[in-house]
Structure 1
Amino acid sequence: MKIVIEEITQIDKDIYDLLLLGDSSKDMLNDYINRSQKYVAKISEKIVGIIVIINTRPKTLEILNIAVREEFQNKGIGKQLIKFVINMARAGKNEIIAIGTGNCGIKQIALYQKCGFRIVGVELDFYKHYFEEFYENGILCRDMIRMKMYL
């Protein structure tokens, strides 16, 4: 399965719906989507995943969103998107990549650690401003797990 990763600038409904897999808050998504860089993973021209990044500080990139279509999950696509960003960050002389995920995102936390990220903090009650409570893995999502990779 050959995966091609390329930058996109336009967001259609299909891509927007894919982004909602990675961030269920439309308000948050709408806030960052137009000021960030977006890269899609394609298999046979079909978009199967996306990663969204932004420079938050000098020499620091943050991954704001990463999502893979459900039927393509657990096939290494998310890991390839992260590795793509790591390589791009190194080439751009960045020193830190940051990422955050909900306390309920057990698979995400494991993936990020396997890619080399370390937990650097927990932002308590981060999700309390979200319109609705949400659960993943039977766990109420309340706190943001902050992770970083030092390049």
Structure 2
Amino acid sequence: MLIWHLQVHERHQRKGYGKILIDKMTNLARDNGLRAVTVETQNTNVAAVQFYMQCGFQIEGIDLSLYSNNDTGNEEIALYMRRKIPQHE
């Protein structure tokens, strides 16, 4: 299962809609027998990293060359964050 892009329109940000979408996505994943949800964001998108951490995601990996093979310092790198899904009991 793959959702390519998830975004809340800026007029509706900081009203809880992003968390609702993440929780619905997690429930859908659980209902389909998946063990975790993984998101990709950038090290430069601090607001997204903080949001995902508040939603229970942890950084699980990085990709130094996803955006460019020439990154040498402070350029954008991909962060992979994962939220494990507790199964229904």
Q: TM-score range by the shorter chain?
A: 0.7 to 0.9
Q: Higher strand fraction: Structure 1 or Structure 2?
A: 1
Whether 1:100 aligns to 2:34 is: no
**Structure 1: unaligned runs, 5 residues or longer:** 1-52, 55-62, 130-139
Which residue of the partner structure matches residue 121 of structure 1?
61
Q: Structure 1 vs Structure 2: percent identity of aligned residues? A: 30
- Per the TM alignment, residue 64 of structure 1 is displaced from its structure 2 partner at its CA by 2.7
Counterpart-to-counterpart distance in 2, 1:114 and 1:95 = 19
For the Cα contact (< 8 Å) 1:96–1:148, is it kept in 2? yes
Q: Distance in 2 between the 1:104 and 1:114 partners?
A: 17
> How far, CA to CA, are the matches of 1:125 and 1:142 in structure 2?
9
CA deviations 1:20-65 (Å, max 9, x no partner) are xxxxxxxxxxxxxxxxxxxxxxxxxxxxxxxxx61xxxxxxxx431
- Could you tell me how far apart the structure 2 residues matched to 1:71 and 1:141 are? 29
Supply the RMSD in Å over aligned alpha carbons: 1.8
Q: Quote the Cα distance in structure 2 between the aligned partners of 1:141 and 1:77.
A: 30
Q: For residue 20 of structure 2, what is the aligned residue in structure 1?
A: 80
Aligned length: 81
Matched residue type, 1:122: I
Native 8 Å contact 1:102 1:141 kept in 2: no
Deviations for 1:93-146, whole angstroms, at most 9, x for unmatched residues?
1112111001111111111111111100111132227xxxxxxxxxx7610001
Task: Give the SS at the match of 2:67.
Answer: helix
Kept in 2, the 8 Å contact 1:122–1:145? The answer is yes
- What does residue range 135-150 of structure 1 map to in structure 2 within 5 Å? 142-150=76-84
Secondary structure at the aligned position of 1:68 is classed as coil
5+ long unaligned stretches in structure 2? none
Secondary structure of 2:56's aligned partner = coil
Superposition map of 1:18-33 within 5 A: none
What is aligned with 1:28? none
